Amino acid sequence: MPLLGSALAMPGSVQAAVTETDFLDELPVVLSVSRLSQPVSEAPAAVTIIDQDMIRASGFRDIPDLLRLVPGFSVAYTRDNTWAAGYHGLGDAYSRRFQVLVDGRSIYSPHYGAVNWTDLPLAIDDIERIEVVRGPNASIHGANSFAAVINIITKTAAQVPGEFVSMQAGTQDMRGLTVRHGGGDAALRYRLTASAQQRDRFKQNVPVSPVVSGGQYYEASQNYFVNGRLDWQLAADSDVMAQFGLNQGNGHAGALTADSRLALEPREQDSNAFYLQFAYHKVESARREWRVQAYHTQNAFDADVRVSPLVYEEKDYGNIVVNQYLLQSRSSIDLQVNEQWSPNLRAVWGGEVWQETVKSPQNYNSSKTMRGEIARAFGNLEWRLHERVLLQGGAMLEHHYFTGADISPRVAASFTVVPDHVLRLGVSRAYRSPTFFEEMGNQVLLNDAGTVIDTTIMRNGGLEPERILSRELGYVGRWSALHLELDVRLYRDRIDSFIGEKRINPNPPSDANSFQPKVFFYDNIGSVDAHGGEVQLRWRPTRSFDVSTHYARVFLSAATSVVNFNKDIPASAPRDSWGAIARYRFGNGWDSSVFVQYSDAQKWLAPGDNTQAFTRVDVRLARRWKWQGTEVEAAVTGQNLGKDYEEFRNTNLFSRRVYGSLDFKW
């Protein structure tokens, strides 16, 4: 196998070698699991590919919704312009147990560990595909590649020449406009995308609590962004990729309430984000190529500092200062080298250094900017011992600013029972380092004189990283005559040193000011066991008909020092969940699709609620045609055409909604 176009797992010109053709004829090629390009059947871990056909057929306009197409994932909008996601449970408002990459750039938040999906300057129309590694992958992508890795790969500039305009409008005050221009020549290509998006998330006038006036509860947001990409072929053996993105957002949230404590919660929050990314790729020979990448990202959340009077249990606490300011950044440089040592032996190795910063006076009771450095080195080996036996192994050595040095190994063996039918055995260990807030958080409210009035989170420090040992048995099969692909995964995971909020008892402690008798700190509270199975199937009998389905069953148990977690963690994953998306092209430009999702009841962890089982049905109907040399697509999408269901909180009611879209490409 030639090295060029088959080795790099991160973006660059090599990505262009993997197109939709790879998803139609043979088992698809994946890039994220081992940093070695390989068919799904040879990957050392289970992976789900969300390709352009699935993205288009889903009708989803928010990137987190696409995770509904992955077995074992739970997805929900939370509040304050944020999303939650859980894989095999443990989902909370921050989704802190995933590594999420966009073209190899981590968007994992160093503050909460959250992924700021709505502040990501990326149009869903610019996504080439998403690869979701289901299970730990720290041997390749480092700490926080704990439960799964989500790698979003965008379209190269060469893939989107010309002009593109997409408009959406619908119920719940949904509005969207995206424009893109692609140009250049054979050696130098570029694309530039700008977008404006508006959402009202939930039904208003829903019951919240007795203190809420009129039951008014609302979530609305506006986001505006621009991004660009340049792909420059310097020579036949080298190329450069450069990207940038800017985002400006405004979120409105909350409830009209008679409780003055709730007046301290944010009602409006501004956000902005930007990133710069550069990569240089060099092919030295048919046996060796390398790539160096550097990027810088920054996210800021802010609103005007305001002063609110506080009265609680007839005691006047005076004016309280509400300051939502949060600034976080990451700077990184990394090297990746791919080598083909023999026809049956190849490897990838490299390293990365990055710095993270966080500043948030109200969350840390300090105006200082906190910094931390991470250094890592990795190696992965693939050895074809026999035409039916493939062995893979690798490890990541990492030094984290809070937890010191850790090694995350993985070994896997794949056995081709008969052609197109492969069994996989794998064992891996991964770590999740505590976030800045877990390790150093000291969340307070101050009065206008600067005195601490309330403490909700106290600093504890000295946390150990969460550790997971994952064992899996996988099967990947393909029946070419039936155009059918099947993926089965059975797993057993053990998480130790689980990090959770622990209530200080007695409350409040003598060294913390608190007008409410609830003060917490983060601690390593115990262990979690998970086991279960997943199935995903794709059937494409003709080019007109395409069906993808998945099913997951999850069993969780917990042994922690916090009683609530022992009850909530086992309920944090729906016991049974499944989904299906089917697309049919009628001809003459007509295209239809149906998405169905079912989830058992579950308990979202703090600050979520118990949510009931639900079934969701979405339908999309579209038609494409040409008009004066322009490709046009008009579509109408109905989401959740059945009953309202609860997302994350029992007050977050996702109601029926419909939107129309109109796309032009020339």
Q: What is the pLDDT of residue 511?
A: 62
**Per the domain annotation, does 8 fall within a domain?**
no
**Per the domain annotation, does 60 fall within a domain?**
yes
Q: Which of 91, 135, 138 is nearest to 114 (CA)?
A: 91
Q: What is the pLDDT of residue 21?
A: 44
pLDDT tens digits for 372-410?
999 999 999 999 999 999 999 999 999 999 999 999 999
**Per the domain annotation, does 7 fall within a domain?**
no
pLDDT tens digits for 517-542?
788 999 999 999 999 999 999 999 99
Q: What is the pLDDT of residue 22?
A: 42
Q: Going by C-beta distance under 8 Å and a sequence separation of 6 or more, which residues neighbour residue 605? A: 90, 91, 92, 568, 569, 572
Task: Check which CATH number belongs to the domain holding 283 and give it.
Answer: 2.40.170.20
Q: What is the pLDDT of residue 310?
A: 75
Amino acid identity of residue 510, one-letter, is: S
**Per the domain annotation, does 5 fall within a domain?**
no
Q: DSSP class of residue 70?
A: S
Q: Which of 604, 564, 639, 551 is nearest to 69 (CA)?
A: 551
**Per the domain annotation, does 6 fall within a domain?**
no
Tokens of 171: 């119920």
Quote the pTM value: 0.93
**Per the domain annotation, does 407 fall within a domain?**
yes
DSSP run (H or E) holding 54:
helix 52-58
Q: What is the pLDDT of residue 24?
A: 46
Structural domain count of the chain: 1
**Are residues 46 and 65 in contact, defined by beta-carbon separation less than 8 angstroms?**
no
Distance CA 251, CA 218 (A): 10
Domain with 347 in it: 13-665
**Per the domain annotation, does 104 fall within a domain?**
yes
Distance CA 304, CA 325 (A): 9
Tokens of 289: 């190529």
Q: What is the pLDDT of residue 481?
A: 94
Distance CA 48, CA 612 (A): 27
Residue 462 region by backbone torsions, left for phi larger than 0, else alpha for psi between -120 and 50, else beta: left
What is the per-residue burial (b if ≥16 Cβ within 10 Å, else e) of 583-620? bebeeeeebbbbbbbbbbebbbbeebeebeebebebbb
**Are residues 623 and 585 in contact, defined by beta-carbon separation less than 8 angstroms?**
no
**Mean pLDDT, each 10-residue run in order, the chain (666 residues):** 39 41 65 93 96 96 97 91 90 88 94 89 96 96 92 96 98 94 96 95 57 58 96 97 96 59 64 96 96 97 75 76 90 97 97 97 94 97 97 97 96 97 98 96 87 87 96 97 97 97 76 73 96 98 96 97 93 97 96 98 92 97 96 98 92 92 98
**Per the domain annotation, does 471 fall within a domain?**
yes
